[in-house]
Chain A
């Protein structure tokens, strides 16, 4: 019983998040008869795919004490560049690699400025939010680019035994990166940097390199998202990813990741994504005025964060 008590206490945050999810699912199924339909669950999960993917690198960067606000713009940029590469080479697979490379390139720029030049992460990534979006609009002239290749669009439209490919990929990514964060030297280094960067340096951790890695990961995940988004919309959109950075931060913070850095868990972020996805889905299902939705979204989030805050104090 003592062991159980200890286990519950040490996982209070996770339990609280699970409880919030359960309450939300219960209430949502009561509020809308469509909420628990197979079709709606499928929609909910697919609609949350970008959020789920970007929560991975956002968790990494936040735990390391950083932040990446450029992910939304990067999704649009990577999609456009990837398409241009495909158009130039005629090979959709190379085009998809182009998406990852373009996203990773922005990540490298972020990582060098933040990790090596020690410029504030908020300012750097905010600047790149504007620069990258502007570059995308300049390249495309503000126009949508149609992409009709089945291979290129597979991630956004394909399914295996009825399960969207993107959902299978997300499960795999979470397994891999949960292991990396919790059980690898890289993961432990990220926690150390986020906890106390100076102490990490003294301990011999190559902090600049680790920070660079986190932003490259962020960029490449944005590139991966761009492949999904292009596939889903059958087009490269210059305004794709609008607002993704805000929603991703809300999701991971809702999951309990501290903006101060040094603590958090990828599974908590995942639950935060699920909670936010449920909120957005139920607001879409209910016939409430779109004006009230802005209020409702914020109120529900404050409620969830308040509960988590109280529970964290209880834990301490």
Chain B
């Protein structure tokens, strides 16, 4: 009897708590809007009188729907983004889609409900994400999409010229190999738009050269452990490897371990993308472990750049709909001279490892006073 009464009391108390806390916790947007408008009107007159006082930028809240947060690349994106947010009086709410598009859409919808100032998206699919972006636009929330071209009102895209970059990388590799050899490509996640673009770039690049053969391409899915296993398989299967291209630096590091274990280090050059500090230092140390050229996108730079744009969007600045975020090939002067000598004739802005390290270390200050390109 006592136990049943106890249960009854617990249930009743719980229902009461939910009623009380619901009233406390639930804030209707309509109720909040009126006081805010009132404050604005009251402050308008004093603001005019005190025009000389410095204006403190209002804190901006950014909702960030990332593809994943377990990969070191995205960890650095968040790091760069947080650095920029700290410098510009903003807060980023980082959330992971865990590689699932439905989850990413759900995150965007949740951010809309939270009425964040701007939404930053690293879309898993640049087309499927459009309806969710349109909802944000209808709710008056601007969006910014990284790495992909997403053309829809209210959205700023910062795409990478991914296919062109990897095609260019293959041109550099081809020149380095004197236009003859067997290449292996450790690709990304099938179905991820930008990583598919990298693959297309490699395939198109290789197709240009009669004596350059793409021996194999395997998706490492941005998983260093998987990348290592793939490399071990290649080392067993192929005696004649001329070069290996990686989608991302962390994949390359684990593959280097496999190459070392097979006692084949420095047998063939390695090429990658990211501009990770460790990879750049290897290039700086006389192409240590065979690391020869790395395309600097720079995860921290990507984070800092996009968060900077997001903050400026949230503060009402008008930005171009598309802002291309380019890659900078990192290599030693010797390498550049060599590939030019062998026939690489593209007009490319490249940088040395020293310059790359400086850029990566100062990701936030690089973009703090950024101005959009003249139209």
Contact A240–B190 (Cβ < 8 Å): no
Stretch in A121-129, A180-188, A254-262, A280-288 with 4+ CB within 8 Å of B: A280-288
Contact A5–B4 (Cβ < 8 Å): yes
Contact A8–B4 (Cβ < 8 Å): yes
Query: A35 an interface residue at 8 Å Cβ cutoff?
Result: yes
Query: B96 an interface residue at 8 Å Cβ cutoff?
Result: yes
Chain B positions 1 through 30: 1 when the CB is less than 8 Å from some CB of chain A, otherwise 0: 101100100110011011001101111110
Query: B94 an interface residue at 8 Å Cβ cutoff?
Result: yes
Contact B25–A36 (Cβ < 8 Å): yes
Query: A312 an interface residue at 8 Å Cβ cutoff?
Result: no
Query: A87 an interface residue at 8 Å Cβ cutoff?
Result: no
Known: A39-B113, A284-B95. A8 touches B127 (CB 8 A): no
Contact A290–B96 (Cβ < 8 Å): yes
Total contacting residues, chain A, CB less than 8 A: 53
Contact A289–B94 (Cβ < 8 Å): yes
Taking CB atoms, residues of chain A closer than 8 Å to B106 are 43, 47, 284
Contact A37–B1 (Cβ < 8 Å): no
Total contacting residues, chain B, CB less than 8 A: 47
Query: A162 an interface residue at 8 Å Cβ cutoff?
Result: no
Q: Out of B101, B113, B191, which one reaches A37, CB within 8 Å?
A: B113
Query: B357 an interface residue at 8 Å Cβ cutoff?
Result: no
Binding site of B, secondary structure by majority: helix, strand, loop or mixed?
helix
Taking CB atoms, residues of chain B closer than 8 Å to A30 are 21, 24-25
- For the complex, give the distance between the alpha carbons of A240 and B7 in Å: 43
Contact A32–B107 (Cβ < 8 Å): no
- For the complex, give the distance between the alpha carbons of A233 and B112 in Å: 17
Taking CB atoms, residues of chain B closer than 8 Å to A240 are 101-102
Taking CB atoms, residues of chain A closer than 8 Å to B114 are 34, 285
Query: B99 an interface residue at 8 Å Cβ cutoff?
Result: yes
Which of A27, A137, A235 has its CB near the most chain B CB atoms (within 10 A)?
Answer: A235
Q: Out of B1, B25, B96, B110, which one reaches A33, CB within 8 Å?
A: B25
Number of A-B contacts (CB under 8 A): 133
Query: A22 an interface residue at 8 Å Cβ cutoff?
Result: yes
Interface residues in B84-121 (C-beta closer than 8 Å to A): 91, 93-96, 98-102, 105-107, 109-110, 112-115
Interface residues in B324-367 (C-beta closer than 8 Å to A): none
Chain B positions 57 through 100: 1 when the CB is less than 8 Å from some CB of chain A, otherwise 0: 00000000010010000000000000000000001011110111
Query: A1 an interface residue at 8 Å Cβ cutoff?
Result: yes
- For the complex, give the distance between the alpha carbons of A29 and B124 in Å: 31
- For the complex, give the distance between the alpha carbons of A237 and B7 in Å: 47
- For the complex, give the distance between the alpha carbons of A289 and B66 in Å: 12
Query: B131 an interface residue at 8 Å Cβ cutoff?
Result: yes
Contact B26–A235 (Cβ < 8 Å): no
Q: Which residue of chain A lies nearest to B191 when distances are taken between CB atoms in the complex?
A: A142
Query: B225 an interface residue at 8 Å Cβ cutoff?
Result: no
Q: Which residue of chain A lies nearest to B125 when distances are taken between CB atoms in the complex?
A: A144
- For the complex, give the distance between the alpha carbons of A242 and B101 in Å: 9
Taking CB atoms, residues of chain B closer than 8 Å to A4 are 4
- For the complex, give the distance between the alpha carbons of A284 and B102 in Å: 14
Taking CB atoms, residues of chain A closer than 8 Å to B128 are 144, 233-235, 237
- For the complex, give the distance between the alpha carbons of A30 and B27 in Å: 11
Contact B127–A32 (Cβ < 8 Å): no
Shortest C-beta distance, B36 to chain A (Å), equals 15
Shortest C-beta distance, A136 to chain B (Å), equals 10
Query: A151 an interface residue at 8 Å Cβ cutoff?
Result: no
Query: B196 an interface residue at 8 Å Cβ cutoff?
Result: yes
Shortest C-beta distance, A291 to chain B (Å), equals 7
Contact B101–A239 (Cβ < 8 Å): yes
Taking CB atoms, residues of chain B closer than 8 Å to A234 are 127-128, 131
Contact B102–A144 (Cβ < 8 Å): no
Known: A234-B128, A239-B99, A239-B191. A26 touches B17 (CB 8 A): yes
Contact B26–A19 (Cβ < 8 Å): no
Chain B positions 28 through 60: 1 when the CB is less than 8 Å from some CB of chain A, otherwise 0: 110000000000000000000000000000000
- For the complex, give the distance between the alpha carbons of A6 and B65 in Å: 49
Interface residues in A227-282 (C-beta closer than 8 Å to B): 229, 232-235, 237-240, 242-243, 281
Beyond A50-B102, A239-B100, 12 extra complex contacts between A and B, CB < 8 Å: A26-B22, A29-B21, A30-B24, A30-B25, A37-B27, A233-B131, A235-B125, A238-B190, A284-B106, A285-B114, A290-B95, A293-B96
Q: Closest 3 CB pairs between A and B?
A: A142-B190, A29-B25, A33-B27
A sample of 8 cross-chain residue pairs with beta-carbon separation below 8 angstroms, ordered by A number, consists of A5-B4, A15-B11, A23-B14, A25-B18, A26-B22, A232-B105, A234-B131, A237-B191
